């Protein structure tokens, strides 16, 4: 996923809500302070288990990972949605006061252009340059995803059929904040929306106690040309974007990660607005062999474990000695981290991580595809020989020189990825998520004559008399002359590169 975890999000207030442990391999116990010092012989226990020795129930827990929103959270989200639907701006302002203790009455929900323009001065120059480079690389990757505006297949019998692709009209990008800064979220949401040509892109992010937004989020919004930015967070923000208020214009789609309250609000509003990709706590599987330094494998595992106690990180290998060496290396990596990250890594390695030893490459691929993980790292000697056998993964990272962190920020592909096994049917966020297609069909007189009898026969078999009559009683029309495809069918070229 992106470079943050649910534990990073603002805890302890109702608007964004406390983090709730999620049962995948078992309950994730809350983190209670610094971890136990790493013993000299190894440190955090990376459990090593043979796949053949796991029970059916244990395999099911690995494969069918769920992140259900607790009932009490949904109850709160329902109250929030009902309040925003009935009260509009006043409800959102009241909810911000109630949940986060911030009074926005004097400055309002929308961020002014001056505040957007001034954000650059609050960020170090090197950080701005890194964000700019991320935008450039993410844009370059996503432009390759653009389909043709219109394509048509000409059938020999006189039928033309194809698709026209246009951007969706509007999208709301939710950028969490909590106790950290997550500007990279806006890069991953805003850049493909711009590339797709979305006309109206709104940004919502939680304010601090003074009502100000994270400077990185403001800088990136201004850098991407997004001037519709709202200071509101959690379930109220999702409700306002979906339903609209006096200040907030409703959007067609709401995207962006968040905690259980954000997820709960999206679930309740799924019949009102498109909520896009389902994303939960971060997860990774590393497939490794003896050709890669165990320190590298350990770094890849700890990168994922750092997201928080509800993360999942698993090593898959055919070599038990690799698992043992990686466990030792993971202890050293964890020991070098500052708190609280060190404690989270050790907890995940103990409770929600482990090494699975398989008998063969074939079994390794079977396990990988069953898990359908968010990140799959191939730390092996022959990654491209194995790659065709990988069917289900949010992204495939080819080691040993490709840190997951590089893919989170700057490699180019999108870092918003399916989790909880949804990689079986969902893909990474991309330009296609901001586009929609319409079928375009034209029959010439000869084309209708060629298929008309079949249409009538099928319509009558299903009892649709008017369907059949629309063919048999249709008056003849002239053949469309050459040049019948009008150039105005084609939409204009995509927007210029983001400057």
Catalytic residue among 374, 395, 442, 488: 374
Question: Contact, 232 vs 99, CB < 8 A?
Answer: no
Catalytic residue among 142, 222, 307, 375: 375
The DSSP string of 247-275 is: SSPP-SBEE----HHHHHHHHHTTTTSB-
Question: Contact, 297 vs 288, CB < 8 A?
Answer: yes
- If phi > 0 it is left, if psi is from -120 to 50 it is alpha, else beta; for residue 420 that is left
Rounded Cα gap, residues 10 and 426, in angstroms: 28
3 state SS of 170: strand
Rounded Cα gap, residues 191 and 204, in angstroms: 16
Residue written as token pair 């006309």: 199
Roughly how many angstroms between the first and final C-alpha of the chain, as a whole number? 26
**Residue of 181, 231, 236 whose CA lies nearest to 206:** 231
Q: Is 41 a catalytic residue?
A: no
Rounded Cα gap, residues 131 and 478, in angstroms: 58
Rounded Cα gap, residues 349 and 391, in angstroms: 26
Cα–Cα distances in Å, from 20 out to 15, 95, 315?
A: 14, 21, 25
The DSSP string of 431-492 is: GGGGEEEEEEEEE-HHHHHHHHHHHHHHHHHTT-HHHHHHHHTPPP-PPPPTT-S-GGGSPP
Q: Is 163 a catalytic residue?
A: no
Catalytically active residues, by annotation: 374-375
């Amino acid at each position: 996923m992106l470079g943050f975890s649910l534990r990073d999000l603002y805890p302890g207030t109702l608007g964004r809500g406390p983090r709730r442990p999620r049962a995948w391999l078992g309950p994730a116990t809350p983190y209670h302070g610094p971890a136990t010092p790493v013993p000299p012989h190894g440190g955090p226990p990376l459990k090593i288990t043979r796949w053949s020795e796991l029970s059916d129930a244990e395999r099911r827990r690995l494969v069918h990972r769920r992140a259900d929103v607790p009932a009490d959270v949904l109850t709160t989200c329902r109250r929030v949605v009902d309040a925003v639907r009935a009260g509009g701006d006043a409800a959102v302002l009241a909810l911000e006061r109630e949940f986060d203790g911030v009074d926005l009455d004097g400055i309002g929900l929308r961020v002014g252009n001056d505040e957007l323009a001034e954000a650059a001065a609050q960020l170090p120059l090197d950080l701005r340059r890194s964000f700019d480079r991320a935008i450039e690389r993410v844009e370059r990757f996503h432009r390759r995803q653009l389909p043709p505006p219109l394509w048509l297949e000409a059938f020999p019998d006189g039928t033309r059929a194809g698709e026209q692709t246009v951007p969706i009209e509007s999208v709301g990008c939710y950028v969490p904040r909590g106790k950290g800064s997550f500007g990279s979220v806006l890069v991953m949401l805003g850049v493909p929306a711009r590339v797709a040509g979305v006309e109206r892109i709104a940004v919502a992010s939680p304010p601090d106690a003074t009502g100000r937004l994270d400077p990185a989020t403001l800088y990136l919004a201004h850098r991407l040309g997004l001037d519709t930015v709202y200071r509101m967070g959690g379930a109220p923000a999702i409700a306002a974007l979906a339903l609209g208020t006096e200040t907030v214009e409703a959007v067609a789609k709401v995207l962006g990660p968040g905690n259980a309250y954000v997820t709960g609000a999206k679930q309740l509003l799924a019949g009102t607005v498109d909520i896009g990709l389902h994303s939960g706590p971060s997860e990774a599987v590393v497939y490794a062999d003896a050709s890669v330094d165990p320190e590298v494998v350990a770094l890849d595992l700890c990168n994922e474990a750092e997201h928080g106690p509800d993360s999942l990180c698993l090593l898959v290998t055919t070599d038990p000695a690799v698992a043992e060496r990686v466990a030792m290396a993971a202890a050293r990596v964890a020991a070098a981290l500052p708190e609280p990250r060190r404690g989270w890594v050790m907890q995940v390695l103990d409770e929600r991580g482990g090494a699975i030893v398989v008998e063969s490459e074939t079994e390794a691929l079977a396990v990988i595809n069953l898990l359908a993980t968010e990140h799959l790292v191939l730390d092996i000697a022959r990654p491209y020989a194995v790659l065709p056998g990988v069917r289900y993964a949010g992204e495939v990272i080819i080691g040993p020189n490709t840190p997951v962190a590089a893919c989170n920020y700057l490699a180019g592909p999108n870092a918003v990825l399916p989790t909880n096994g949804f990689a079986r049917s969902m893909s990474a966020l991309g330009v296609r998520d901001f586009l929609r297609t319409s079928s375009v069909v034209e029959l010439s007189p000869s084309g209708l004559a060629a298929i008309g009898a079949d249409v009538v026969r099928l319509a009558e078999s299903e009892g649709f008399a008017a369907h059949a009559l629309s063919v048999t009683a249709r008056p003849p029309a002239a053949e469309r002359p050459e040049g019948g495809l009008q150039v105005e069918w084609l939409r204009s070229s995509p927007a210029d590169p983001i400057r």
